[in-house]
């Protein structure tokens, strides 16, 4: 697997997941075929399938109302330029503050909202046929920028030597965390999984504070504004099971 961190399965975990795969193979389950160029939206968080077939340029959209998604398939087939998507939603920009006089400074911009995390995806696969690279995108949403403070109308009758020209801006929202990925499959599929699956589980970037750097004068006045913190990168674990 490209752009991933591999983790080996313990004996206890192997026993549990092996039982899941065997149970899936014994019991007939519905199948899903996504035709060429179709964007298919999943509804729900658990899917037990006999087969999952993605034709060329197919897109599988996970249900972002749920934090995690489990897809178990006896047979998984991928064509050219296929993508699985479970990305977080971007945060919203904070609203700007109203303009004010030097004697009415408390009209700041609002904080941006945080991005949401990517969906956590678990894939339990028994057999695979990957004709080309499969992209799995589970990155976190961007944090919203803070709103800008209102412009300040300067009054001559004041003893303040350094006067701000801009009201307090809002802080940037934090970025959403990247989704975690767990893929479990028989050990003989190790090479094809490593070579054919690309995962993007980056955390979303944080939003910017509402006051641009060139307007933060004097600096002490804007010291409480902050940029949002970037979300953490998701973890990628691949469990290769020996029969």
pLDDT of the residue at 10: 37
**Count of other CB atoms within 10 angstroms of residue 58:** 22
Contact present, 207 and 176 (Cβ < 8 Å): no
- pLDDT value for 123: 97
At 217 the pLDDT is 83
Out of 64-73, 83-92, 147-156, 168-177, least confident range: 147-156
Query: How confident is the model over 192-229, as pLDDT tens digits?
Result: 999 999 999 999 999 999 998 888 888 888 899 999 99
In the chain, domain spans: 11-241
* Both structure tokens of 29: 């389950």
Give dist(CA 24, CA 68) in Å, integer: 20
47-86 pLDDT, tens per residue?
Answer: 999 999 999 999 999 999 999 999 999 999 999 999 999 9
Closest CA to 96 of 149, 39, 22: 149
pLDDT for 191 beyond 60: yes
Which stretch of DSSP H or E encloses residue 181? Answer: strand 181-186
- What pLDDT shows up at residue 120? 98
Strand (E) or helix (H) holding 200:
strand 197-200
Tell me, rounded to whole angstroms, the distance of Cα 181 from its chain centroid.
Answer: 11
pLDDT classification of 105: cutoffs 50, 70, 90: low
Res 8 pLDDT > 90: no
Q: How much is the pLDDT for 19?
A: 42
């Amino acid at each position: 697997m490209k752009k991933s961190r591999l983790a080996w399965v313990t004996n206890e975990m192997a026993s549990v997941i092996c039982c899941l795969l065997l149970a899936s193979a014994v019991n007939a389950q519905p199948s899903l075929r996504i035709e060429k160029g179709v964007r298919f939206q999943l509804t729900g968080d658990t899917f037990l399938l006999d087969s999952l077939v993605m034709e060329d340029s197919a897109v599988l959209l996970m249900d972002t109302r749920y934090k995690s998604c489990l897809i178990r398939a006896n047979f998984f087939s991928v064509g050219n330029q296929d993508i699985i998507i479970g990305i977080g939603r971007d945060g919203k920009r904070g609203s700007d503050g109203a303009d004010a006089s030097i004697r009415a400074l408390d009209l700041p911009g609002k904080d941006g909202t945080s991005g949401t995390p990517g969906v956590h995806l678990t894939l339990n696969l028994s057999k695979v046929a990957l004709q080309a690279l499969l992209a799995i995108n589970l990155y976190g949403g961007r944090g919203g920028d803070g709103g800008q403070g209102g412009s300040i109308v300067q009054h001559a009758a004041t003893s303040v030597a350094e006067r701000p020209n801009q009201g307090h801006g809002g802080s940037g929202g934090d970025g959403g965390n990247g989704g975690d990925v767990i893929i479990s499959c028989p050990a003989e599929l190790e090479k094809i999984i490593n070579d054919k699956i690309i995962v993007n589980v980056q955390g979303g970037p944080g939003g910017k504070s509402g006051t641009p750097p060139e307007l933060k004068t004097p600096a002490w006045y804007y010291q409480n504004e902050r940029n949002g913190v970037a979300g953490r990168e998701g973890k990628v674990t691949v469990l290769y099971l020996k029969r």
